[in-house]
Amino acid sequence: MQGEGNALDPLAPQPAAPPLELARPARSHKPYDFTHPLPYGAIVREGGVYFVVFSRSATAMRLLLYDRVGDTEPAEVISFHPEDDRWGDVWCMFVPGVGPGQLYHYQAEGPWDPKRGHRFDPRARLIDPYALALAGDFQPADDGVLRPPKCVVVDDHFDWQGDRHIRRPVAETVIYEMHVRGFTRHPNSKTKHPGTYLGVIEKIPYLKSLGVTAVELMPVHEFPILDWDGRPKQRPNYWGYDPLAFFAPHRGYAVSREPGAQVREFKEMVRALHEAGIEVILDVVFNHTAEGNERGPTLSFKGLENRVYYMLDEQGNYRNYSGCGNTVNGNHPVVREMIFHCLRHWVLNYHVDGFRFDLASILSRDRQGNLVPNPPLVEAIAEDPLLADTKIIAEAWDAAGAYQVGTFASTRWAEWNGRYRDDVRRFWRGDPGMVGALATRLAGSSDLYEPSGRCPYHSINFVTSHDGFTLNDLVSYNHKHNEANGEENRDGENNNYSCNYGVEGPTRSRKVEAVRRRQIRNFLATLLLSQGVPMLLMGDECRRTQQGNNNAYCQDNELSWFDWSLVKKHRDLVRFVRELIRFRRAVPTVRRTHFLRGRPEAEGLLPDVSWYDPAGGPVDWFSPQRSLTCVFAAPLGKDGRPEGKHVLLFLHADPEPGRFVVPEPVRHLAWRAFVNTAARPPEDIYPGGEGPPVTRFDWELPGRTLVALAAEATAEHGPALALPQGCEEQQAR
């Protein structure tokens, strides 16, 4: 059922709530006891529970208590006393005799005046904005009343067994973006609990073998499973970007159906990941909710204080900077307080290590939707002392045209670097004139982050993410193929900077497949050898495909799930990624904490970065050439001497073969083979950069090839030897 409010005629004035038949007499309650602190939500205390909710404009408030998840009507309805149970705009009371596991909703009466922003519906069953867990799902609404999942009173006690935040420096982080359900839901995952938090625990050995240091989980706070009328959605909400309750882990990822079990299982997952040395970053969606616009349902925020929680225009309509119908009013003090409580809740009660803020530019908008400098919410998140150990990452744009990559905020905020994604894609596709942009991205995007005093690690580098093509599809399709979404292929990004190299989609052509294999390795090597923080998309290490779908938000099926057979099928690529990550974590040369200057850090040393054309001469940054040579010199260690390895990169995006020369200033170094994307496995990568020594200074590379060499910074420099076998093989091999 679609429509404003929960009535069959949603635009009509809402009648007073009819008396509800109760299964038993309503219990007595007590006024709020202010010897306790005043948080919000359902707070368990000795002998009962405090229920605390904000509403400024409500004229009456009721608490609905249920006995069972499947009940359509409450067993008890308790009215808040307008004098004894209201303090300012906060309604609060103590209900004795209830405890953890209790199911509840709120009901609020108030004005129905959409032009003034009021949309109270006295029949609506409302989700507590501070609910710590939900149970059940939407139930049939044949009488015109929506029945959303029920809130659960939760006891937060959990044996963390001494677990604390890992606190790994951002510069040493390697992020793996993944979907909790999709990671293990495929039938061939061979997990006991597929598609769940516990299923993730079963696959921790795989994550650990890859070497990633953090998982970035797509939304795990509550979102709808069924449609508002209790029937299956026409387009399943697979991604989860449709919040119902910000404080509650998604019930659909729990094994147990016991109300509140998802709280315990989520904590078990975090604890297990921490034991493996893997941090947990949450993708949080504080920009909109599942209630939609004027035609959407009343489920929670609309029915409690619509004009506080949402940005509205002068006519009371919803401003839509999210592309999802409404926009959370994040810079209103009440909403800002809720967001802070929420972030602290996930950090303190769930031990999460960081947050990625979806469409974060919305957090920079004031109550009228204007982008403002130093927005209070963004600045306060950066300065919050309880969040000091966490990583905070912005998706620094929104659906209304704001694009703040490089200008989003202060030195605490890292950003998804969309410029990195686009420039690296264009370079390897072979677009002319991209060498300057590529060099800037390889070196940490100083053009974006240095002016604001930030560092290379504030750039979260990525080539692919959940939103768009997978890496396999980036090199297999010229165009999106989203027909399965049921929107006639109108949805999703049209400009992907992709290339199919001669055939759209899967092919048996050895020539085309050889180019695709090489390009996948080119992208991965570029990503993992760039300054900044790399982020991998789940399954890119084994060529997961979505068959050209670049907007699989509704594909809760094998199109989106991780196909575990690919790990074996593409074991050589998995090994390639594993060794790149191992090298990155061991070699500080490719994860500098300060921007490169192009000059030596001390007299007599190499410049920290040097750029050359393929012939070893100076680069013409304005030429249409598609090739570049880069030397990253090893940084100084604590003893004032170079530490680790020097790294030399030949990046050749031209489709035709090209001649490359080791630049004269670095010929004295004892270079050894590391990466050669044109070579057959296992010669495509040598662990630790300890491959055969090079035996010549110049050679011809096949088109679309990346070669990386490594040299010990402290080793005695012997005579230059030769590039290993494989660099002169032909492109179509």
Own/partner long-range contacts of 479-483 (Cβ < 8 Å, ≥24 apart): 479/504, 479/548, 480/548, 480/549, 480/550, 480/551, 481/505, 481/547, 481/548, 481/549, 482/548, 482/549, 482/550, 482/551
Q: How far is CA 546 from CA 481, 501, 539, in A?
A: 9, 18, 11
| CA separation for the pair 41, 52 (Å, rounded) | 5
| CA separation for the pair 556, 226 (Å, rounded) | 13
C-alpha angle 72/77/82, rounded to 5°? 140
Sign of CA dihedral 581, 584, 587, 588: negative
Q: Report the SS3 class of residue 312.
A: strand
Strand partners, 50: 43, 94
Catalytic residue among 137, 395, 398, 467: 395
Is the bond preceding 224 in cis, omega lying within 30 degrees of 0? no
Catalytic residue among 121, 358, 423, 613: 358
Does residue 659 contact residue 699 with C-beta atoms inside 8 Å? yes
| CA separation for the pair 62, 173 (Å, rounded) | 48
* Active-site residue flag, 491: no
What tokens were used for 563? 């196909």
Tell me how crowded residue 718 is: count the other CB atoms within 10 A of its CB: 10
What tokens were used for 688? 């630790």
Residue whose pair of structure tokens reads 């050749």 in the numeric block: 652
Buried-exposed string 242-252: b where 16+ CB fall within 10 A, e elsewhere: bbbbbbbbbbb
Does residue 263 contact residue 154 with C-beta atoms inside 8 Å? yes
* Active-site residue flag, 222: no
What tokens were used for 589? 């040369």
For every residue of 480-536, DSSP letters joined together read ---GGGTSTT-SS-S------TTSSS----HHHHHHHHHHHHHHHHHHHTSSSEEEE
**Closest of 376, 378, 410, 390 to residue 346, by C-alpha:** 390
φ and ψ of 362, to 5 deg: -60, -30
Spatial CB neighbours of 426, under 8 Å, sequence gap ≥ 6: 434, 437, 497
Does residue 593 contact residue 170 with C-beta atoms inside 8 Å? no
Element (H, E) at 202: helix 197-202
What tokens were used for 107? 């009901």
- Phi-psi label, residue 689: left if phi above 0, alpha if psi -120 to 50, beta otherwise: left
- Please name the residue ranges forming H helices in 243-361: 261-275, 301-309, 333-350
Does residue 53 contact residue 40 with C-beta atoms inside 8 Å? yes
| CA separation for the pair 263, 270 (Å, rounded) | 11
Tell me how crowded residue 234 is: count the other CB atoms within 10 A of its CB: 8
| CA separation for the pair 436, 708 (Å, rounded) | 19
C-alpha angle 102/107/112, rounded to 5°? 165
Does residue 16 contact residue 122 with C-beta atoms inside 8 Å? yes
Give, as one character, the DSSP assignment of residue 216.
E
- Phi-psi label, residue 32: left if phi above 0, alpha if psi -120 to 50, beta otherwise: beta
Q: How far is CA 68 from CA 105, 140, 340, 486, in A?
A: 13, 16, 32, 37
- Residues involved in catalysis: 358, 395
